Amino acid sequence: MPVSLSVAVLSAMEAVSASQWDALVDADQPFLRHAFLHALEASGSVGPATGWQPCHLTVWKGAQLVGAMPLYEKHHSYGEYVFDWGWADAFERAGGHYYPKALSAVPFTPVPGARALVAQDADTDVVYAALAQGWREQCQRHDLSSWHLLFAGTSEVEVWQAQCPELISREGVQFQWRDRDFGDFDGFLAALTSKRRKMIKRERRLVADQGLEVVRLVGEQITPADLTHFYRCYAITYQERGRPPYLAQDFFTRIYNAMPESLLLVQARLDGRPVAAALYFRGAQTLYGRYWGSEVVADCLHFEACYYQGIEFCLEQGLTLFDPGTQGEHKLLRGFAPQRVRSLHYLAHPGLANAVATFCREEGQQVAAYRDAAFAALPYK
């Protein structure tokens, strides 16, 4: 690493100023903003008590922050959405210790995009080399079994693989909607096959027939009462699975206070009373659907609140991409196309690394075939 650069490890986001950090963040990535990452920590959603120990990497040129990357020491694999439980189980049955491990990701947020942040006037390769030195030293110093970079951006994968050829790439698929110059929602429907067009119209009509009114609240239109109701709905989603929510209510309060312009709340009301809610985040060109919950059982309400309202909002606001979250072939039927997502993995133990590399190669072939088949099944004319 050039002597003009230094790497510092931060045990909390509050150790760096928001202006310095956010100067490196792309306007389309609200989840990497200082306010978002700091809210996770300050609310207690992320920290030693939850198995996420922050040890963020920063690269400095004198007093100027020229690079950064979120980094956590993990003692489990919850909240990641790239599942390595099988790797951990196999390694521990063989006598190894998979945890703790190092993880570069946005906690509980499976959104593709850059994880390494680089100043515009900085040498990308040099900053990446400094960050690589940083996570390697963390692994060695704290006896961490591995480093994982989740949902990396395409260009970022290429730079990392050039810097660290030993990194193992793992393939995945998400479903995303892109504007094809539809104009409005009717234009979007017109681009679909008759069968899917009729399906969507029927689903939207069914929501209204159940007496539900769906409204969108943007930014400061969202009241504290709306946010409290949303959290109650969000918690219900986890309670139905028999587990507590990942995120504390205080996290959402902090986000609302720090970056309200990034929030869209879709609220379903019955007789004027809110009964369901979906919270979205807005970037410069992208809408991100993230959290959902409902106090009532209503046919097709999830599709309306989490998909159709998002598509309609994008078309009204000129946003070109809608990322509704992970999983779900049901998204394919509604015009969301399969997209390649990748993660990178470093495993210190040679035997484990070889086994994981073989697994990822075989899995990658299956994922690529699935992605191609899904793309061929898109409902566009």
Tens digit of each residue's pLDDT (9 = 90 or more) over 138-164: 999 999 999 999 999 999 999 999 999
- What letter would DSSP give residue 167? P
Residue spans of beta strands (DSSP E) within the chain: 5-10, 52-54, 56-61, 64-69, 72-74, 101-104, 117-118, 146-152, 168-178, 212-218, 263-270, 273-282, 286-294, 321-323, 337-347
Confirm whether 5-174+339-376 and 180-319 share one CATH topology: yes
- Per-domain boundaries in the chain: 5-174+339-376, 180-319
Predicted local confidence at residue 83, as pLDDT? 95
Sorted by sequence, the CB contacts under 8 Å of residue 327 that are 6+ apart come out as none
pLDDT score for 4:
84
Q: Which CATH number fits domain 5-174+339-376: 3.40.630.30, 3.10.580.10, 3.30.1340.10, 1.10.260.40?
A: 3.40.630.30
Cα(317)–Cα(81) distance, rounded to whole angstroms?
A: 29
Q: Mean pLDDT across the stretch 1-5?
A: 68
- Please give the structure tokens belonging to residue 95: 């006598």
Asked if the model's pLDDT at residue 328 lies above 90, the reply is no
SS3 content of the chain, % helix, strand, coil (to 5): 45, 25, 30
Which whole number is the average pLDDT over 240-262?
95
Number of Cβ within a 10 Å radius of residue 295:
16
pTM confidence score? 0.96
Token pair, residue 107, equals: 């906690």
Span 253-274, mean pLDDT? 98
Q: What is the assigned CATH class of domain 180-319?
A: alpha beta
pLDDT digits (tens, 9 = 90+) for 35-47: 999 999 999 999 9
- What is the model's pLDDT at position 1? 52
Structure token digits, residue 232: 């109650």
Calpha distance 188→265 (Å, rounded): 22
pLDDT category at 3 given cuts 50, 70, 90 is low
For the chain, percent of residues with pLDDT exceeding 70: 99
pLDDT reported for residue 113: 93
Residues in Cβ contact with 347 at an 8 Å cutoff, skipping those fewer than 6 apart: 87, 145, 146, 168, 353, 356
The b/e string for 319-331 (b: 16+ C-beta within 10 A; e otherwise) is bebbbbbbeeeeb
Residue 236's pLDDT band (cuts 50, 70, 90)? very high
Give the CA count within 13 Å in the CB-facing half-sphere of 175: 19
Mean pLDDT of the chain: 96
Q: Note the maximum CA span of the chain.
A: 68
Q: Which whole number is the average pLDDT over 285-303?
A: 97
- Three-state DSSP class for 345? strand
List pLDDT tens digits, range 83-101.
Answer: 999 999 999 999 999 999 9
Please give the residue that has the higher pLDDT: either 326 or 300.
300
Q: What single-letter amino acid sits at 319? A: L
pLDDT for position 137: 97
